[in-house]
């Protein structure tokens, strides 16, 4: 049984639309054990006040208390099973990584990777990344934001739920430092066009479509899309003011 601290809070009638599909999947013994042992050490909840993030006096997320050092902070929105996050954090130990994932199997899988690889620069938040950004992340505090293969919401009537749209991008940009980067990727062609158009339309962001940067690993999810013949598009923009 999943611990009740990890139950999802339902979206209320006046809350923003979710950009992900809430779902439940069996954890299995190893992942359930990871949540019990490792989440109190390296995780916190976006929604549950019993497992809050450390905060500054001003009420913002406190990276110094979370990581024990003052280093550039990267947020991974929708870290999935955590393989890309763990690989990038291991290759870039000078930055700290905050993975935000709404689905418990992914949270648990990343915690196991952090333990196995001995990573000290990764923390995991369970819940909605946009809610965390609005309520807890200080403006100008992030060195980078990554959103790799967010839910494409392929039906036209659901496009309003996509992560990359002007209002959300404005929030992401506000949380970046000047000079910080926003990197998104998708294997859905029409979503790639939307990502490019929305990001390049923001006057405070510069950049565009780029070849896959070497530092972004090819995940199992991405490889499945490639095997199906999907083209993958990366868009990287930088905050200029």
Question: Which of 134, 120, 73, 82 is closest to 103 using CA atoms?
Answer: 82
User: Is 151 considered catalytic here?
Assistant: yes
Q: Which of 62, 151, 174, 202 is catalytic?
A: 151
Positions marked active-site: 151
């Amino acid at each position: 049984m999943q611990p009740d601290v990890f139950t999802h809070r339902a979206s209320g009638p006046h809350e923003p639309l979710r950009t992900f599909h809430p779902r439940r999947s069996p954890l299995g013994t190893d992942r359930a054990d990871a949540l019990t042992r490792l989440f109190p050490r390296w995780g916190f909840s976006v929604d549950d006040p019993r497992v809050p993030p450390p905060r500054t006096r001003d009420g913002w997320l406190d990276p110094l208390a979370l990581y024990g050092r003052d280093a550039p902070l990267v947020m991974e929105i929708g870290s999935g099973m955590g393989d890309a996050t763990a690989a990038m954090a291991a290759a870039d130990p000078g930055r700290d990584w905050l993975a935000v994932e709404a689905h418990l199997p992914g949270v648990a899988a990343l915690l196991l990777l952090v333990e196995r690889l001995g990573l000290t620069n990764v923390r995991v938040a369970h819940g909605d990344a946009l809610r965390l950004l609005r309520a807890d992340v200080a403006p100008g505090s992030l060195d980078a934001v990554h959103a790799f293969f967010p839910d494409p919401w392929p039906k036209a009537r659901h496009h309003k739920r996509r992560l990359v749209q002007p209002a959300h991008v404005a929030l992401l940009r506000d949380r970046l430092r000047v000079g910080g980067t926003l990197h998104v990727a998708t294997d859905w062609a029409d979503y790639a066009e939307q990502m490019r158009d929305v990001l390049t339309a923001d006057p405070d962001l510069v950049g565009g479509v780029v070849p896959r940067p070497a530092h972004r690993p090819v995940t199992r999810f991405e490889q499945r899309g490639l095997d199906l013949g999907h083209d993958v598009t990366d868009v990287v923009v930088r905050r200029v003011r």
